[in-house]
Amino acid sequence: MAVYTEVPDEELSAFLATYDIGTVLSYKGIAEGVENTNYFLHTTGGTYILTLYEKRVREADLPFFLALMQHLARKGLNCPLPVGNRQGEPLGRLAGRPAAIITFLDGIAVRRPSAQHCAALGAALARLHLAGEDFPMARPNSLSLDAWAPLFAQAEAQADTVSDRLAERTRRELDHLAGAWPQGLPTGVIHADLFTDNVFFIGPEVSGLIDFYFACTDALAYDLAICLNAWCFETDGSFNLTKGRAMLAGYQSVRRLSPDEVEALPVLCRGSAMRFMLTRLVDWLNVPPGALVKPKDPLEYDRKLNFHKHVRHAREYGLDA
Ligand SMILES: Nc1ncnc2c1ncn2[C@@H]1O[C@H](COP(=O)(O)OP(=O)(O)OP(=O)(O)O)[C@@H](O)[C@H]1O
Ligand SMILES: N[C@@H](CCO)C(=O)O
């Protein structure tokens, strides 16, 4: 459960008094998520999500994330809308943290997606990429190639306590990625964390996308690589080709991949696996005392990384020739 910051009742009431959404009826810490503190918030005006932004979110980036949600919603994408306070400001401070209230979205996050879910997700991802085309702000990906060596440095000394020879494996892979990382691919707004817990479904349809706090400007195909990793592996560690095929076809039904994106997909999948292995490893080794959070398993992503090392062509993910 991710509640890093407890919000005292009186502070919440004082915070809400700066908004026009009524008074608090109830609020409750949310059991999912690892990055930020989230509460369900019921007021006399409706149901909302209250988010307190924690360590990995830079305060200077918050205007980008909040403006992006507004832009995507205007373009017809179903994502949360930041609620402005009486001054029209979407961002405030609560319990010592930057905080925002966002609209509540209906739908259910599927734990074990089917191929049909993967197809719908692929199409939704491509729609997000198209909707982001005219978003005027930019934010470099602060968790891409250049960030990986410094992240690893935070965990290297203890890495072998998590898995035998993990440090050496990771060092070698970082060298490989530094030499092989593709340049010049089509770029734009990417979500960069579109895991199953960040996508809501009603029946087989995607009903909403949430958690835009890693969104940035980067290669569009890297976002697809993140989703292939997050959605298309089974719990036994095997890649599900049917799900991969469904996701890639869903994506391409909305936006076609260019030949250089197709060629780059295996290395993008490797890089994406590295990114999540590293952030998980650092978190695994540094659980803040007293925090109600269950860190995620870094080795799941070490195993995915090892799978991608043997992939030579995107056909092996199910891309039609
Ligand atoms: N707008 C929303 N509408 C409905 N539920 C929401 C909304 N935003 C967040 N939630 C709920 O809160 C949970 C945690 O939110 P979120 O994924 O943004 O947290 P996080 O700590 O940033 O997570 P992650 O670990 O995925 O980065 C979600 O899984 C969902 O259950
Ligand atoms: N989706 C991430 C957590 C948020 O960065 C993970 O599963 O590691």
What integer pLDDT is reported at residue 7 of this predicted model?
Answer: 93
Q: What confidence score (pLDDT) does residue 88 get?
A: 94
Q: Distance, CA 106 to ligand 2 centroid (Å)? A: 22
Which of 4, 30, 32, 35 for a ligand 2 pocket mutation test, highest count of atoms within 8 Å of Cβ? 35
Q: What's the total number of domains in the chain?
A: 2
221 and 303 belong to one structural domain: yes
Which ligand has its closest atom nearest to the C-alpha of 101? 1
Q: Is residue 14 part of a domain?
A: yes
User: Cα(24) to centroid of ligand 2, in Å?
Assistant: 30
> What confidence score (pLDDT) does residue 1 get?
46
Q: Do 306 and 207 share a domain, yes or no?
A: yes
pLDDT of residue 291: 66
- What are the start-end ranges of the E strands in 32-127? 37-43, 46-52, 92-94, 97-103
Ligand 1 close to Cβ of residue 241 (< 6 A) = no
At residue 31, the pLDDT reads: 80
Model confidence, pTM: 0.94
168: domain CATH number is 3.90.1200.10
Whether residue 249 sits in one domain with residue 133: yes
In a shared domain, residues 278 and 200 = yes
CB of 34 closer than 6 angstroms to any ligand 2 atom: yes
Ligand 1 in reach of 193 Cβ (< 6 A): yes
Substitution site in 1, 4, 35, 38 for ligand 1 pocket (most atoms within 8 Å of beta carbon): 38
What is the pLDDT, as a whole number, of residue 186? 98
What letter does residue 196 receive in the DSSP assignment? G
Q: Is residue 109 part of a domain?
A: no
Do 70 and 143 fall into the same domain?
Answer: no
What is the CATH number for 97?
A: 3.30.200.20
Residue 240 near residue 233 (C-beta atoms within 8 A): yes
The pLDDT, as a whole number, for residue 321 is: 67
Q: Does 78 share its domain with 154?
A: no
Q: What is the pLDDT of residue 287?
A: 79
With a 6 Å cutoff on the Cβ, whether 301 touches ligand 1 is no
The answer to the question of residue 1 being in a domain is no
Question: What pLDDT is stored for residue 148 in this prediction?
Answer: 98
- For residue 64, pLDDT over 70 is answered with yes
Percent over 70 (pLDDT), the chain: 98
- At residue 310 the predicted structure's pLDDT band, cuts being 50, 70 and 90, is very high
Query: Is residue 126 assigned to a domain?
Result: yes
* Same-domain check for residues 96 and 130: no
Could you tell me if residue 57 is inside a domain?
A: yes
Is the CB–ligand 1 distance for residue 85 below 6 Å?
no
Residue 3 placed within a domain: no
Helices (H), the chain: 9-16, 62-74, 115-131, 145-162, 166-180, 220-231, 241-252, 259-285, 298-309
Using a 6 Å cutoff on CB, does residue 193 contact ligand 2? yes
End of a domain among 69, 103, 137? Answer: 103
Assess whether pLDDT exceeds 70 at residue 125. Answer: yes
What residue's CA is closest to ligand 1, atom 23? 33
222 falls in which pLDDT band (50, 70, 90)?
Answer: very high
Any atom of ligand 1 within 6 Å of the Cβ of 38: yes
- 222 and 313 housed in the same domain: yes
Looking at the fold, whether 42 and 188 belong to one and the same domain comes out as no
Same domain, 33 and 73: yes
Q: What is the pLDDT of residues 257-289, one digit of tens each?
A: 999 999 999 999 999 999 999 999 999 998 777
Answer yes or no: is the C-beta of 315 below 6 A from any ligand 2 atom: no
Give the highest mean pLDDT range of 54-63, 158-167, 285-294.
158-167
* Same-domain status, 16 and 152: no
Residue from 36, 65, 193 whose mutation best tests the ligand 2 pocket (most atoms within 8 A of CB):
193
Q: Are residues 67 and 188 in the same domain?
A: no
Cα dist from 14 to 11, 24, 124, 214, 309, whole Å: 5, 10, 38, 29, 53
pLDDT at 122 > cutoff 90:
yes
Last residue in a domain, options 103, 134, 156: 103
Question: For all residues of the chain together, what is the average pLDDT?
Answer: 95
Q: Which domain holds residue 195?
A: 115-317
Which pLDDT does position 288 carry in this prediction?
A: 73
Q: How many Å lie between the centroid of ligand 1 and the Cα of residue 74?
A: 21
Q: Is residue 4 part of a domain?
A: no
Q: What is the pLDDT of residue 82?
A: 95
Q: Whose CA is nearest to atom 6 of ligand 2?
A: 276
Counting from 1 in the atom list of ligand 2, the atom nearest the Cα of 230 is: 7
1 against 250, higher pLDDT: 250
The terminus-to-terminus CA distance of the chain in angstroms comes to 43
Domain stops at, among 43, 73, 103: 103
Q: What confidence tens digit (pLDDT) does each residue in 22-52 have?
A: 999 999 999 887 789 999 999 999 999 999 9
Average pLDDT over residues 74-81: 96
pLDDT the model gives residue 295: 87
Q: How far is it, in rounded angstroms, from Cα 248 to Cα 242?
A: 10
User: Does residue 276 lie within any of the structural domains?
Assistant: yes
Q: Per-residue pLDDT tens for 136-194?
A: 999 999 999 999 999 999 999 999 999 999 999 999 999 999 999 999 999 999 999 99
